[in-house]
Structure 1
Amino acid sequence: MRKPRPSRRSAAAARAKRETLKGWLQISGVVALTAVVGVTYFMVAKGAKALDDETLCPREPSSVTVLLVDVTDPMTTAQKQDFQNQLDHLRRTIPRYGKLIVTKVDSSSSELLKPIIVRCNPGTATDVSEWNGNPRAVQEAHDQKFVAPLEAAFKDLSGASGADRSPILESIQSVALTELAPLESSDTPRKVVVVSDLLQNTDAINFYDRLPSPDELLESAAFRRVRTDLSGVQFEIWMLERSDATTTQPRALVDLWDSAIAAQGGSIERAYNVSG
């Protein structure tokens, strides 16, 4: 027996049902796409940081590194080159949104130190994509507003000051109070890089005349006046060797600084002799 063919009314109803289902599928696709775009925009906006126009720093940097330079005597040609190499390496280690503060020891130590330059790394083109940023703009900011100003500042750091005083401990206290203590998050990595011959030279503490023992230094009234809270701060020491290093810069000198920094809660992670 032949099956009856569907009526025109039932065929029209089936077509209407298919069109309705197709419409719902299209609407669902648009809603899903809108949701994906919305979530993506939210995540990008959430991850974006408002940066200072000059320093490129966000309100909360990802890390803080202070470069404290104390050059009293002229560097040799080899020292200048190695110093430049170390500076370039330091700049490359600053993470995205990390802050680098460059300052020099002030022989007078009568005021808190003021930075020579402050810059944060805005990242490079590899840190963003067309979906969540502008790779070209980020790279230009990195090259023109981060690298170029720092390289210009670095050129003047190797010049000798000729000062007859080196208040290194006072300078560390200064940067700890002005650059490290105001951080809102205690979890922010903090580092101080000290470039010096390490010979503290003030009326109260003088490593030239005689190198004190760690106990003698730490128990002195003069040290109590210059100590500060360095809890969690990592240090790098770049020692500039003098021509009379065998007598003025014995191994005990670095050990003394290790004791002085540890007594304040910090730690020396790297001690490096600048070549030359």
Structure 2
Amino acid sequence: MKTIKFLSVLAIATLITARLLAQEQLVVPLSDPGKPFKLNVGLVDGSITVIGYEGKSIVVEGQLDDRHRDRDKEKDKVSGMHRLNSNGMDISAQENNNQVTVHSSMGKQVNLTIKVPKTTSTFKISTVNGGDITGSNLDGELEVSNVNGSIKLTDISGSVVATTVNGPVIVTFKSIDPKAAMAFSTLNGKIDVTFPASLKANVKLKSDRGDIFTDFDVSTEQQKPNVTRTNKDGMYGLKVDEWVYGKIAGGGPEVMMKTTFGAVYIRKAK
């Protein structure tokens, strides 16, 4: 297993976590270039961008968020003192038999841009606070999760499971895995997915406070709503959970879309 980390000034040992003062680049060679790989990227604070390119290695670029630096400058103005040290960032990458894990230390808001070979592969990408997730020109199986930010994926080939809480989910496919089920969900935001015109799917759709739109021919199915009644300590509750079910082009793997505050768009690529 190779562990690669950003270094600054002095490298005491290869496993030392280094500090970055500005944007830097890290090249992660794959054990078996040209073969499928697995990429796992997880942040607590920051944005993640993953881009497919014509190369054989995974290239990671990291940059401290501008808002973080602005806050530090403001603190210096308030205190009337000047800073002698610079706040760096700690980013590391581990590669083992074409499985690559990239992560950053907690406490700093970091924006990552990662270039990956255009090979059918597996991607697991997540962040929590203060950032969006974007991806383009990717091929394979994508599992993407966010909490306070958007998800936007373009020119995707393969399958996607994407979920966030506060933000929209926007996905555009070049082609899909005809055997893979997919899911797209958010709480606050729209879901807007563009599929190839050849899509065959069983759709399961729900928007509690919005509408559902599509330019596909959807054969809808009548389903009884799921009704839940509760009675606890003299408090009575009634919940009606209603989904829209249908088939596109005779049906296929399930495609689920769910939002609470927003609309759902199922678009046919032109």
Instruction: Establish whether TM, by shorter chain, passes 0.5.
Output: no
Structure with greater Cα Rg: 1
**Which is bigger in relative contact order (C-alpha 8 A, separation at least 6)?**
1
Larger helix fraction of residues: 1
TM-score by length of 1: 0.27
- Per residue, is there more strand in 1 or in 2? 2
